[in-house]
Chain A
Amino acid sequence: MNEIRIQIDGKEVRVGEGMTVLEGAQSAGITIPKLCHHDKLVPFGGCRLCIVEVGNGVSAKLVVSCVYPVEENLVVRTRSEKIDRIRKTILELLLAHAPNSPELQVLAREYGADKDRFEKEASFCIHCGLCVRYCNEVKKLNAVGFVDRGIRKEIAFIPGIAARECKNCMECFPLCPTSYLQAAFVLIEALAFSTTSSGTASTE
């Protein structure tokens, strides 16, 4: 891979061409907070926590680092008053859904986010898509997916596939940033309340 030079937080670093800013920073040992990014998965850009500022002066702009590609001489700032403020608000919004998530709590301390700022609506899932994408991209089983949209969007297991596959896998559980139990609960629900065991693409 060709190397190009970029600047992150004032430091000159060499990163691989074609990387995203987040990957570039990671390869240079610089941490950018993230929730929905996973090294084995296609970038998703869902949580927006990895937001950074690129460029200088009037051309400076906020971009989502896990989907923004690096380019020669790109100047990146991973922390600033503005960035921290945005991350704080994102965390406060997510905490309204998953107030007890250890991962969110650690980040909340770092960014001074108040978990009680917004009224609680404990849905636990923050739609990072890690479980859904892992099952689809890595395991290629597609046992879990999203259904519905907007405020009603949630994960759901396909009972027929889940009954067959999940018992031997469950690799998505520990990926969940809010609670190991979230996917587990939805899985049990799918298995317990499905009236038939089909639900897979059957031919009969």
Chain B
Amino acid sequence: MTIDIDRIDQIIDMHQCEASSLIQVLLEIQGENHWLPKEALDRVSEKLQVPLSRTMHIASFYKAFSLVPKGRHEVHICMGTACHVRGAKRILETVEDLTGIKPGETDADMKFSLETVNCLGCCALGPVMEINGKAHGKISVSETAAVLERYE
């Protein structure tokens, strides 16, 4: 876990330890740490006085949360119709080759996590590769490596 307990406590305190802020607190930890380790869930449950069973229910319910480690950079490749016809599959294969991981996986250095998505809502830019929320549109196979290299 890269986030420490003090930082988690800070986030919780910003929400006045309100049980009703559970989702918000989890979202902020997820945002900083990229995933929710068990220690974080334990701490949040304890401080907000929400049973761990409920915290687990919420954390496993929403797709925004990850209960498995995620890399520092989240790569989303759009496989929607528009991107698909413009060669998203080849972009995906290239990224798989470059990073050595398949969709749903994270590399050993915790650098990249790869996911496919079904539409990012910017079809005119297809094919689109999104990294940490930034869209790289009209991307070509040859440009992919250069874009990935920009991320540390």
Contact = CB atoms under 8 A, between A and B. Distances in A.
A197 B139 CA distance: 48
B42 A145 contact: no
Closest A-B pairs by Cβ, 6 of them = A145-B53, A142-B51, A201-B46, A147-B60, A142-B53, A149-B61
A168 interface: no
Interface in B134-149: none
Contact of B57 (A146, A201, A203): A146
21 contacts: A136-B51, A136-B53, A142-B53, A143-B53, A145-B51, A145-B52, A145-B56, A147-B56, A147-B60, A148-B60, A149-B60, A156-B53, A158-B52, A158-B53, A158-B56, A161-B52, A161-B53, A200-B52, A201-B43, A202-B42, A203-B46
Contacts of B46: 201-203
Interface of B: 38, 42-43, 45-46, 51-54, 56-57, 60-61
Say whether chain A's binding surface is mostly helix, strand, loop, or mixed. Answer: loop
Nearest to A136: B51
Interface size class of A (residues with CB under 8 A): 20 to 34
Interface string A135-152: 110000011111111000
A142 B52 contact: yes
B53 A132 contact: yes
A200 B46 CA distance: 9
Contact of A145 (B38, B43, B57): B57
A200 B56 CA distance: 12
Nearest to B52: A158
A134 to B, nearest CB: 12
A198 interface: yes
Contacts of A43: none
Nearest to A161: B52
Contacts of A102: none
Interface in A4-48: none
B51 A199 contact: no
B54 A145 contact: yes
Contacts of A145: 51-54, 56-57
B65 to A, nearest CB: 11
Given A143-B53, A158-B52, 18 more contacts: A136-B51, A142-B54, A145-B51, A145-B54, A145-B56, A146-B53, A147-B57, A149-B60, A149-B61, A156-B53, A198-B38, A199-B38, A200-B42, A200-B52, A201-B42, A201-B43, A201-B52, A202-B46
A9 B25 CA distance: 50
Contacts of A148: 60-61
A137 to B, nearest CB: 11
A63 B53 CA distance: 30
Nearest to A148: B60
A204 B108 CA distance: 28
